[in-house]
Structure 1
């Protein structure tokens, strides 16, 4: 992947991630959610480390790095995937995809809290519009007063803890590359999820024997394609074009999860969900800082052009 085709790769991985919401919904309906998730994340982590071993970039973490990896994995892997799994058991894939679309906005909020990032009027507007979109999503299909389903709340918590983990990754320093860090986070986090499964799902791993062939095909596609390859591509894209521009592509993730849930799972689409989708897209573009980044880039380019023109006139 190079600078010229990074956008094509991002579009592709957003399609995979959008459909992965549908895939995980299928899996949690068939298997106990935490047991399935722990094994899925373990397989994904092994996949990342095998790729790095092939590239001769694999190594064991030091003791200090192990503590850091464990801390981040509690948010990025354990918290995020636990809440995602049990939330998907209680809500629709449509709502899940839309609520997870808030992650860029929640990451911007976390950066303001923990990294003292600057709040701008456009970011504030985006945050407000994004949460208005989520309010519309959780109201979808309700005939009575406003209420929040527990499944929707769990998905929101999954988005919050992942946003915090992104800030922790940026705030902490380590000599480990982001891909190596990601692989070990998955391995360590999956063991925590296994412990949670043994406590909360006594027969959880036994249910993994009750699937059909297509369930296992979906399982390995989700683990290896969406989680392993997906994270490696996205993390590399962030390095090449920056987090703000990469965040804009998450809107495609929303579109594919919405379409996949409606077409593959035959889930109902309500007007409130479609309006919520539009609000979240607008909120992400503004609240993630993408518009601020675009404005700064234009000003920088214009200033550079003016300076070059001035130097040429002086010759």
Structure 2
């Protein structure tokens, strides 16, 4: 298939992002959340620029590209992480996880509105299967939805900000290398988050460098592998296959976060989780366009 390499890379990114969830839980339970998030993202940004410097791909963006970088970092870095942090303090994990699971569907809708990229019937089925799989996994953790709250609204703003940023990234990537775009967004966004942290957590920087070594191993693993490399690959995939198709893979991160939580936090995986995984995988195959590519390939072979 034409995009098989991109699909495999995206699955790898989802493994990293999924395992990153329990790692972040460990980090924010020890460090002030906004402050450590800003430092982690800044480290990721530096890592991206080191990689791009080695590839000799660094250049100064044009004025028009700066517009996408600033708006993109406000949505993808500052808005997403800030609203998610404050939202999860006021809602349940069930509600928050379910709302985050609407990311692929929101991206598909926004892609249709702003990019005139209408999904096919098979892709719509993929979004439905993927969302259903996420719902099964999330709802199995507690006793269903516990009622809406202001926290739910903040979490929705978080995933809406990220979905909107994917549309901008697809536009900016037409002229700017998406990997370099990622680096600029991470650096600028982390600086803005750091100042927000100084406001919300005035003593957040104190004692942060006295953490055990294992926490710093987790910190750098999260920053370099999940955030730096993960976003470089994901944003590159947006350029190659489109924001809606790339976003459907985000459903997989929910299951991989369960695997990571089971290994790192001793949380239980149930048969309901496995059923949810089956729906998610089906959603990825349908929604990504992989099934349609396979059907077209077999039809061409039949005509030869």
TM-score bin (small chain): 0.7 to 0.9
Cα distance, 1:272 vs. partner?
A: 5.7
Superposition pairs of residues 238-253 of structure 1, within 5 angstroms? 249-253=249-253
The structure with the largest alpha-carbon Rg is 1
Deviates more, 1:118-127 or 1:257-266: 118-127
Deviates more, 1:7-16 or 1:55-64: 7-16
Cα distance, 1:230 vs. partner?
A: 2.0
Deviates more, 1:157-166 or 1:78-87: 78-87
Structure 1 residue 199 corresponds to structure 2 residue 196: no
Q: Distance in 2 between matches of 1:49 and 1:56?
A: 10
User: What residue in structure 2 maps to residue 48 of structure 1?
Assistant: 48
Q: Distance in 2 between matches of 1:245 and 1:128?
A: 13
SS of the residue aligned with 1:147? coil
Cα distance, 1:77 vs. partner?
A: 1.0
RMSD: 3.7
User: What residue in structure 1 maps to residue 296 of structure 2?
Assistant: 299
Q: Distance in 1 between matches of 2:188 and 2:22?
A: 25
Structure 1 residue 18 corresponds to structure 2 residue 18: yes
Q: Distance in 1 between matches of 2:88 and 2:205?
A: 18
Residues 78-117 of structure 1 show CA distances to partners (whole Å, capped at 9, x for unaligned) of 1122234445667788987776554333221210122222
Residues 137 and 272 in structure 2, CA contact (< 8 A), matched pair in contact too: yes
SS of the residue aligned with 2:175? coil
User: What residue in structure 2 maps to residue 290 of structure 1?
Assistant: 288
Cα distance, 1:178 vs. partner?
A: 0.9
Q: Which runs of 5+ in 2 are unaligned?
A: none
Residues 2-41 of structure 1 show CA distances to partners (whole Å, capped at 9, x for unaligned) of x886665444433222211111111111111111111111
Q: Distance in 1 between matches of 2:279 and 2:199?
A: 39
Structure 1 residues 54, 278: closer, same or farther in 2, change over 3 A?
same
Structure 1 residue 34 corresponds to structure 2 residue 31: no
Cα distance, 1:265 vs. partner?
A: 0.9
Cα distance, 1:54 vs. partner?
A: 1.8
Structure 1 residues 156, 186: closer, same or farther in 2, change over 3 A?
same
Q: Distance in 1 between matches of 2:100 and 2:147?
A: 19
Cα distance, 1:241 vs. partner?
A: 6.4
Structure 1 residues 129, 15: closer, same or farther in 2, change over 3 A?
closer
User: What residue in structure 1 maps to residue 110 of structure 2?
Assistant: 110
Residues 52-96 of structure 1 show CA distances to partners (whole Å, capped at 9, x for unaligned) of 112211123344432321111111111122234445667788987
Cα distance, 1:209 vs. partner?
A: 3.2
Residues 105 and 284 in structure 1, CA contact (< 8 A), matched pair in contact too: no
Cα distance, 1:277 vs. partner?
A: 4.5
SS of the residue aligned with 1:59? coil
Residues 141 and 270 in structure 1, CA contact (< 8 A), matched pair in contact too: no
Deviates more, 1:28-37 or 1:296-305: 296-305
Q: Distance in 2 between matches of 1:114 and 1:6?
A: 24
What TM-score do you get using the length of structure 1 for normalisation? 0.78
User: What residue in structure 1 maps to residue 233 of structure 2?
Assistant: 233
SS of the residue aligned with 2:176? coil
Q: How many pairs are equivalent?
A: 303
Cα distance, 1:297 vs. partner?
A: 5.9
Deviates more, 1:249-258 or 1:20-29: 249-258
SS of the residue aligned with 1:206? coil
Residues 126 and 283 in structure 1, CA contact (< 8 A), matched pair in contact too: yes
User: What residue in structure 1 maps to residue 74 of structure 2?
Assistant: 74
Q: Distance in 1 between matches of 2:64 and 2:134?
A: 39
